[in-house]
Amino acid sequence: MTTEARFSHRHLLGIEGLERGEIVAILDAAESFFDVSRRSVRKVPTLRGKTVINLFYEPSTRTRTSFELAGKRLSADVINISVSTSSAVKGETLLDTVKNLEAMWPDVIVLRHQASGAPHHIAARTKAAVVNAGDGMHEHPTQALLDAFTMRRAKGRLEGLTVAICGDVLHSRVARSNALLLRQMGATVRFAAPRTLLPAAAESLGAEVYDRIEPALEGADVVMMLRVQRERLSGTFLPTTREYSRTFGLNAARLALAKPDAIVMHPGPMNRGVEIDPAVADGARSVILDQVEAGVAVRMAVLWMLATEAQGEPTAG
């Protein structure tokens, strides 16, 4: 596979600002790394001598684990810092924490933080490359990249696809990063949410906006369900989860409105029986676990690009 590695940024802070060729370069590099995880020896020497620090201020299963595996499969030294066992609980600021970590010479800091813009704040003040692993309600760029990788594998292209992104769009950094990426790649994006869960600026992301799920699903190539983010819901966004499930949950009858070969995605973690029926989540058209597998390859590509300022073909052999 030919990889035109034209990624010219020192950090990956968001999809916003990435050019189409840079997105393609990351996806192509991820293709080159994809098979490493399926080998009997799941390791290549590409990042030997490099150090990656995962610094997570919010809970994570998929993102944290896949960044750790990505770094280890590239032979980097990987350190995981969970905030609950760090000096953040004694009141140390994010910037002080990063400055102290920087003194130990990491090449890449992967940051998840509840504050939108936290990775940008840090990136301007550290020598390490910074990857945004999810910042507040703002962006989750590697999730959008792994989603695009999964769609491209399943459908052979991104251009011309119709992607329905349904659920709690208001609180979703995944929806925002996906909309930015998919529009950049020539796909049509539809947002479907109850009015209370649609951001005021949804149309400025280039998405068609629906306050019912059914019209958004009609003829879609991809159905992406979003988690109801109970931890970010305050006030009266939703009547009850039962009512939400009845009006917005993806079940077999609703999925039948999409194209017969439509795929079903979810970034996880799922609220089974709320935004998605378990029979659909586990059904033949679900690629939810393919997304998780793609996460390792995409994060390998991102770490490789940032830790080596890579040019040319990745060495996955």
Count of residues engaged in binding ligand CP, rule: CB under 6 A = 9
Nearer to ligand CP, 61 or 247 (CB): 61
62 interacts with ligand CP by CB under 6 A: yes
Among 60, 80, 196, 251, binds ligand CP (CB under 6 A): 60
Q: How far is the CB of 265 from ligand CP (least distance, A)?
A: 11
Q: How far is the CB of 288 from ligand CP (least distance, A)?
A: 10
Cα–Cα distance measured from residue 293 to residue 65, given in angstroms and rounded to the nearest whole number: 11
Q: How far is the CB of 174 from ligand CP (least distance, A)?
A: 7
Nearer to ligand CP, 3 or 266 (CB): 266
Read off the tokens for 43: 């390791």
Cα–Cα distance measured from residue 69 to residue 78, given in angstroms and rounded to the nearest whole number: 9
Q: How far is the CB of 143 from ligand CP (least distance, A)?
A: 5
**How far is residue 198 from each of residues 16, 251, 261, 311, measured CA to CA in Å?**
20, 21, 27, 40
Largest CA distance in the chain: 56
249 Cβ contact partners less than 8 Å away, ≥ 6 residues apart = 273, 274, 275, 276, 277
Cα–Cα distance measured from residue 101 to residue 176, given in angstroms and rounded to the nearest whole number: 30
Nearer to ligand CP, 62 or 155 (CB): 62
Give the nearest residue (CB) to ligand CP: 63
132 interacts with ligand CP by CB under 6 A: no
**DSSP assigned state of 17:** T
Q: How far is the CB of 218 from ligand CP (least distance, A)?
A: 27
267 interacts with ligand CP by CB under 6 A: yes
Q: How far is the CB of 64 from ligand CP (least distance, A)?
A: 6
Q: Tally Cβ neighbours within 10 Å of residue 121.
A: 17
| Under 8 Å between Cβ of 108 and 116 | no
Binding mask 210-249 for ligand CP (x = CB under 6 A): ----------------------------------------
Among 61, 87, 114, 247, binds ligand CP (CB under 6 A): 61
Nearer to ligand CP, 106 or 134 (CB): 134
**Phi-psi group of 163: left, alpha or beta (phi > 0 → left; psi -120 to 50 → alpha; rest → beta):** beta
**How far is residue 43 from each of residues 18, 37, 313, measured CA to CA in Å?**
29, 8, 17
Q: How far is the CB of 269 from ligand CP (least distance, A)?
A: 6
Scanning the chain, the segments in alpha helix (DSSP H) are 20-34, 62-73, 94-102, 118-123, 141-155, 173-184, 213-217, 241-248, 252-255, 278-281, 288-308
Q: How far is the CB of 44 from ligand CP (least distance, A)?
A: 24
Interacting residues with ligand CP between 136 and 195 (CB under 6 A): 143
| Under 8 Å between Cβ of 301 and 314 | yes
Nearer to ligand CP, 32 or 143 (CB): 143
Nearer to ligand CP, 67 or 210 (CB): 67
Binding mask 89-128 for ligand CP (x = CB under 6 A): ----------------------------------------
Cα–Cα distance measured from residue 171 to residue 178, given in angstroms and rounded to the nearest whole number: 13
Read off the tokens for 38: 């399926």
- The identity of residue 14, as a single letter, is G
Nearer to ligand CP, 60 or 308 (CB): 60
What residue ranges bind ligand CP (CB under 6 A)?
60-63, 134, 143, 267-269
